Amino acid sequence: MRELISMLTSTDTHPIIQFIKYGIAGGFATTVHMFIFFLMAWKICPALTAKDPFVRLFQKLKIEIPPSDIDDKKRSNHMMFNNFVAFMFSNFVAYIINILWVFESGKHTWYVELGMFYAVSGISMFIGTALGGALVRWARIATTYAFIANIVTSVMINYVCRKFFIFNG
């Protein structure tokens, strides 16, 4: 048990344990991202339709979320803007968790490390957001499903770049 606790609290651990920790940290950052994204899509920059799974989920919970009556092009633009704002917050949360719990910081100065972290995340977010925006605009899929495609794309790119280029593995 003591060995397990040591593995979970150390940044110097087996790659499989590190990936599990990365997944947990990513799950927390994703929760922050989703909270901000869907709050904005609901209250600030509308991007949800009546058929969106997020809207339907809250209807089942007896919480009324009025859907947006906007065309797919505008919804796509709102989806991408909301994703960018959510990214700025969730990526900082991800950085803090990664340097404290997952990876060993110190390969670069903190400001270079943070800049690289945002650059890599920004590239993966751009690719994922473009994919999500395209899926909304041209395939007309629900915002929630486009958001999931964005997350999957970002996770794959981020882990490899963070592990091998930004941090001390």
Residue 4 inside a domain? The answer is no
Q: List the domain range (segments joined by +) for residue 20.
A: 15-166
Residue 5 inside a domain? The answer is no
Residue 102 inside a domain? The answer is yes
What is the count of structural domains for the chain?
Answer: 1
Residues 52 and 144 sit within 8 Å (Cβ to Cβ): yes
Tell me which long-range contacts 115-122 makes (C-beta under 8 A, separation of at least 24). Answer: 116/165, 116/166, 117/91, 117/162, 117/166, 118/91, 120/157, 120/158, 120/161, 120/162, 120/165, 120/166, 121/87, 121/91, 121/94, 121/154, 121/158, 122/87
pTM listed for this prediction: 0.77
Handedness of CA 115, 117, 120, 125 (dihedral sign): negative
Residue 22 inside a domain? The answer is yes
pLDDT along the chain (169 residues), means of 10: 74 80 90 95 92 89 86 92 94 92 84 92 89 91 89 84 81
Residue 143 inside a domain? The answer is yes
pLDDT confidence of residue 43: 92
pLDDT confidence of residue 169: 60
pLDDT confidence of residue 74: 93
